[in-house]
Amino acid sequence: MNFIDYGESEVIAYAVENNIDLVVLDDKDARKIAREFDLKVIGTLGILIVSKKKGYIDEVKPLLEKLINNNFRVSEKLLRRILEEIGEY
């Protein structure tokens, strides 16, 4: 059984109750549960990637560094893959 925190469960419940098909979640277990409700999921990193590709922001790397300095957890492997994908590695 997966346990998620109150805020994440509220996001999922609100989306389901209001026919919203996209939610922003970073927690792995919460993302899995959201997908079980046929919700599309994007996380903080996905938002940054899309924002860069659409030209809303110029650079992702400084924002990632701020997130990491404020206890946002991301593996080195994923971080490297993201930065390579957007041409900032």
Please give the tally of structural domains in the chain: 2
Decide if 1 is inside a domain: no
Regarding whether 35 and 14 lie in a shared domain, the answer is yes
Decide if 49 is inside a domain: yes
Q: What is the pLDDT of residues 41-77, one digit of tens each?
A: 999 999 999 999 999 999 999 999 999 999 999 999 9
Regarding whether 80 and 51 lie in a shared domain, the answer is yes
Q: What is the pLDDT of residue 54?
A: 96
Alpha-carbon span 49 to 54, nearest angstrom = 9
Residue 1 has pLDDT above 70, yes or no: no
Regarding whether 49 and 20 lie in a shared domain, the answer is no
- List all residues 6 or more positions away from 64 whose beta carbon is below 8 Å from its beta carbon: 45, 48, 74, 79, 82, 83
Q: What is the pLDDT of residue 20?
A: 98
Decide if 72 is inside a domain: yes
Q: What is the pLDDT of residue 2?
A: 67
Decide if 14 is inside a domain: yes
Range of the domain at 23: 6-42
